[in-house]
A = this chain, B = another copy of it.
Amino acid sequence: MSIVTPITKLLNIRVPIVQGGMQWVGVPRLAAAVSEAGGLGILTGLTQPTPEALRQAIRETRKLTSKPFGVNITLLPTINPPDYAGYSRAAVEEGVKIFETAGNNPGPLIKYFKENGCIVIHKCTTIRHAKSSERLGVDILSIDGFECAGHPGEDDIGGLYLLARAAQELKVPYIASGGIADPRGFVAALALGASGVNMGTRFMCTVESPIHQNIKDKIVASTERDTVHIFRTMRNTARVFKNKVSMEVVRIEGRPGGAKFEDIRELVAGSRGRQVYELGDPDYGIWSAGITVGLINDIPTCEELFKRFEKGAQMIVSGLTSCVNIQDEPSRAKL
């Protein structure tokens, strides 16, 4: 079977589920598994140490799947910015046709991808940013609610509202990011006007995810109370797993007079987060996790997960038709 929405046609995929572009997690094996299962796998550009390494990762992914996949380029607020242009050029030259962009000031990046005939999915946490991205020519918006892992913005607006608002305002198709990890959230997102969903945390906890088994087990054992916001006082809020390191960051941020980035730099180093995934100690550093850790109870293969979502979506929509009488053939809402 298939689930047909505007984005399945645009992206040439069978099921409108996009894998989030997760740092250290979006590697060829996972991206290929998601694409093979029927969704859109995403290689995280900056997970590769250099543009040349990204070229190799793209080639490696192609060996694992002939289906479409994308590359994520996230523009981070950082002192020494990575070579975004170099990563982007490498991916375009390798023939990648789908990009996910996120972060600050994406205009030049979006322009480059569009000039090269690529499809751009851009992630936003507010309607006003989504509308300005529309004007930049993005093809698909990824509307990221308060529940998400990583950066939710500073407005704290949950997906249930934000997606319904997007339906009122947006012209291009949008996918729902943040807070979704099961077929109920998937169908709810479609009802809210989304053309599909983006999932990160759920894919972290699959067989093909490259992170250490201990961390997958930790996600299974966690609840929605096991994430916390850091960097809030710096207006660069990020939702991460609640552990010794993140709670120490929160403590330092809460000191009278607040904290400067220098005060926590050591604690939040990306290399320590990477070590969490490699060594399997959930307390070693900062790692992103969405509220959906509380919905996740197992570690399926991507193929099993997609089958579950497809069957679940069928069952839920069938249940909806039995409670909401649609026999008098009303006009159909745009989805």
- For the complex, give the distance between the alpha carbons of A180 and B335 in Å: 18
List chain B residues, Cβ under 8 A from A79. none
Knowing A3-B323, A292-B161, A324-B313 are in contact, say whether A155-B224 is a contact too (CB < 8 A).
yes
Knowing A158-B146, A187-B191, A256-B256 are in contact, say whether A317-B312 is a contact too (CB < 8 A).
no
Q: Which of B292, B331, B335 contacts A323 (CB 8 A)?
A: B335
A318 in contact with B333 (CB, 8 Å): yes
Knowing A4-B323, A191-B320, A317-B326 are in contact, say whether A145-B157 is a contact too (CB < 8 A).
no
Tell whether A109 is near chain B: CB-to-CB under 8 Å: no
Instruction: Indicate the size class of the contact surface on chain A.
Output: 35 or more
Q: Which of B155, B224, B312 contacts A157 (CB 8 A)?
A: B224
Shortest beta-carbon distance from A146 to chain B in Å: 6
Knowing A146-B158, A160-B145, A295-B168 are in contact, say whether A331-B316 is a contact too (CB < 8 A).
no
B323 in contact with A320 (CB, 8 Å): no
Knowing A158-B179, A190-B320, A335-B319 are in contact, say whether A224-B165 is a contact too (CB < 8 A).
yes
Binary contact readout A156-182 vs B (1 if CB under 8 angstroms, 0 otherwise): 111111111101100000000011111
Binary contact readout A318-330 vs B (1 if CB under 8 angstroms, 0 otherwise): 1111111110111
Knowing A160-B179, A191-B184 are in contact, say whether A314-B320 is a contact too (CB < 8 A).
no
Binary contact readout A241-265 vs B (1 if CB under 8 angstroms, 0 otherwise): 0000000000000001000000000
Tell whether A185 is near chain B: CB-to-CB under 8 Å: yes
Tell whether A235 is near chain B: CB-to-CB under 8 Å: no
B321 in contact with A321 (CB, 8 Å): yes
Binary contact readout A299-318 vs B (1 if CB under 8 angstroms, 0 otherwise): 00000000000011111111
Tell whether A5 is near chain B: CB-to-CB under 8 Å: yes
List chain B residues, Cβ under 8 A from A75. none
Binary contact readout A97-118 vs B (1 if CB under 8 angstroms, 0 otherwise): 0000000000000000000000
A164 in contact with B192 (CB, 8 Å): no
- For the complex, give the distance between the alpha carbons of A319 and B187 in Å: 11
Tell whether A147 is near chain B: CB-to-CB under 8 Å: yes
Q: Which of B145, B159, B324, B330 contacts A187 (CB 8 A)?
A: B324
List chain B residues, Cβ under 8 A from A26. none
A318 in contact with B332 (CB, 8 Å): yes
Tell whether A334 is near chain B: CB-to-CB under 8 Å: yes
Q: Which of B147, B161, B178 contacts A295 (CB 8 A)?
A: B161
B318 in contact with A326 (CB, 8 Å): yes
List chain B residues, Cβ under 8 A from A331. 315, 318
What 14 additional pairs, Cβ within 8 angstroms, besides A161-B224, A312-B333? A2-B325, A3-B323, A3-B325, A146-B156, A147-B161, A157-B224, A160-B180, A161-B292, A163-B184, A164-B182, A191-B316, A314-B325, A317-B326, A320-B320
Can you list the 8 inter-chain pairs with the closest CB atoms, starting with the nearest?
A158-B158, A188-B188, A319-B333, A315-B333, A187-B191, A159-B160, A160-B179, A188-B191
Taking Cβ atoms with an 8 Å cutoff, the residues of A that contact B are: 1-5, 145-147, 155-165, 167-168, 178-182, 184-185, 187-193, 224-225, 256, 291-292, 294-295, 311-326, 328-335
